[in-house]
Amino acid sequence: MIVDEIFVDRVAHDLRGELSTMLAGVHYMLRFGRDAAVPPRDMLERVGDAGERLTRLIEEFDDSVWLLDKPKPLLPAPTRLQELLDDVVTRSTKLAALRGVRPNVEIMDGGDREFTADADMLARALLYVLDFAMLRAPSPSVRVSATFDDGVPVVRIFDEGPTIPDPVKERLFEPFVENELASLLPQGKRKVRLGLGLAISRAIFEEHGGSLAVESPADANSSGIVLRCVLTR
Question: Looking at the structure, do residues 142 and 95 belong to the same domain, yes or no?
Answer: yes
Tell me: do 152 and 81 sit in the same domain: yes
133: domain CATH number is 3.30.565.10
Say whether both 103 and 63 belong to one domain. no
Q: How far apart are CA 74 and CA 80, in angstroms?
A: 17
SS (H, E, C) 179-207: HHHHHHCCHHHCCCCCCCHHHHHHHHHHH
Q: 134 and 173 share a domain? A: yes
214 found inside a domain: yes
**Together in a domain, 145 and 214:** yes
20/35: higher pLDDT: 20
Residue 72 lies in a domain: no
Q: Look at the chain and report how many structural domains it folds into.
A: 2
Q: Are residues 128 and 212 in the same domain?
A: yes
Identify the pLDDT of residue 77.
97
The structure's pTM equals 0.87
- Structural domain contains residue 180: yes
Same structural domain for residues 37 and 96? no
Asked if residue 86 and residue 39 are part of one domain, the reply reads no
Same domain, 129 and 25: no
Range of the structural domain that residue 23 is part of: 5-67
pLDDT digits (tens, 9 = 90+) for 106-156: 998 777 899 999 999 999 999 999 999 999 888 899 999 999 999 999 999
How high does pLDDT run on average in the chain? 89
